[in-house]
Chains A and B, each alone.
Chain A
Amino acid sequence: MTPNRKTCLVLALLTLTFVALAYAFVLTPARQGFIVLSPLVPKDVLAIVPGTIRVSAAQLVKSGGDVSGLDCYACHHQDSPPEVKYDANHEIVLPKEHADLIISMRNCVECHPPNDPVKLEYDDSGNVKMPKAHEGLLAMGHGRSTRNNNNYCFNCHDRDQLNQLHTPDGDKLKFDQATQLCAGCHGTTYRDWMAGAHGRTSGHWDRTAGPFERQECTSCHDPHAPRFTGLIPMPGPHLLHPVPARKPQPESSDE
């Protein structure tokens, strides 16, 4: 056997190259930045944005939220303060009868003591003049048409006791019974709500398996301005490539 020197040399070179390439392949770490990293969406942004969705006191306490802004005097009169109980963590323990209470930073009774009827002032066209003290407290916007709006306090509030409601029939209602008052005008929506087709639902679709929670009207809608304000949209689809340019829309409303 006479080994062909040339063949041996080529084979040795090829082997060496292969070894070097394999070595380099093993040592090289996976290339970073090949896939575009996008920031993770934190879980807590899924929580409802306050200001757009109202939270009842019971929900707030249950979810471990901040109860420091809770103002008992929003309903209770300052001359007869309620007895406040604290738990071991110095947080307010809410009484059971407040389970359905809607947290409100507005305190009707503080300025309008009970049994002291409010005198309304009208402008030339017959609309109620908004008092200056209400600025920044109450944004009125119930009803969109100017002819048929519902911007009158005493359509819903009781004239003598502002922290009570009254129906057109004269029945007095507590704040937590507001849904019945809303139903008086919004009958079709109330019908949908009763069937579970309007509003947020959570818990169990299978009523035998566990509790089912339905929100009251005022949990989501501010009764003074029931229309929802805008929400900030969450990030869209995760793209590896930039969004292709689109034809300009006829009605662009981006600010």
Chain B
Amino acid sequence: MSTPSGTVSQSLYAAQQKVYPREVSGRFARLRVIAMIALLGLFYALPWATWDGHQALLFDLPARKFYVFGLTFFPQDFFLLTVLLIIAAISLFFFTALAGRLWCGYACPQTVWTEIFMWMEQFAEGKRQQRMKLDRAPWSVEKLARKAAKQAMWIPFALFTGYTFVGYFTPIRELSASVLTLSLGGWETFWILFYGFATYGNAGYMREQVCKYMCPYARFQGAMFDRNTLVIAYDTARGDPRGSRPRGVDPKSRGLGDCIDCNICVQVCPTGIDIRKGLQMDCIACAACIDACDNVMDQMKYPRGLIKYTTQNATDKKPTRVLRPRTIIYGVLLTILVSGFAVAVATRTLVELDVLRDRNALYRTLDDGRIENVYTLRFINKDGQAHEFKLSTTDLPKGAEVDTDVSTVRVNAGQVASLPVRVRVPAGSVAGSVKFGLSAEAIDDRDVSITAKARFIAPAGS
């Protein structure tokens, strides 16, 4: 009979011990701040960049067009997006196999926004001890003022984040104009509040619980780890047995290791774990404990690196290999996909033609006995310049004619144009149905042409 695990599974959902991370300084903290400023700066600034008179990065969902600097993508390019997502996934695998949870520690939006929300919290409520004291204390004017000050920073920042996020999908300059004139549309308002609330909740309150209970990557990243993966580890052989000692005393004389058991590595941990218990799923590899421990080692005049980036092999005094089947396979896959993606983007057809059959009638018999089919042509011009197209048909019986309202169709850069087309063939020249080609050639540039297949339907056996 096994032990009742009810308490274990319940603990996942029971009230959590709030983590009060202690502030930390050092090499990796600096690196994390640089990454945070770069990534957040990029996020908040990019929607304001323009390119060729349009927003440089705009995923215009209402118009079904994605602008990425000089390129315009349409839903027809969806497979490119799929390839891009696969590239992103394999990059994640590749870097995880090489260097562990680099993504979690430095680049994940959850980490980055949590970090900046914690800055604001610290600014309003003070350092770790002060925050803990404040939370334990009964409500007072000071507590109210400090909590209100925190919310006064969090809420506008979260709303601005939501607003910027929506700015990737709706032109941000128009969006700012409608915010200023209070004429924001219903959906924009909804999504700004939705993303604002998500930021506020995730970075302000959920924090490490997102990594522990919600993030799928945190659950499966262990599968990419091996003995050569860079992890953050405590050097048990050097540190144990732990214990406090006066400064300047040789720990060996007291039977102690280098760890003075100050617990600072636990206090700085944003997920509230003890790295000295070994590699854990909860560790997001932010390296805060390395900085904290290095500072303590410096004070004690011990060598740094009691907690450090290392590999399982290095810990076991075996050589660490960067090149190994796992990294080679991921690397080769990544190279193939990235170069394939680059070629596909560079050589993609800049003009597309869709033929939609008229849905109401299969065919129409004219007074003079000729048979007519009606189509709607959709021209998609992904090129950076306008084109003017002339139509022609192939594989239709002699005497066939193409009738349109205009002789040429002008499609502006990045635009879609529709054109109704009537195709007529002489009586009796087609029985049943035939396939034929509809071609559009740009009269301004003979290299730009496109052919689409269509079906012509006539009465059977006429």
A binds B: no
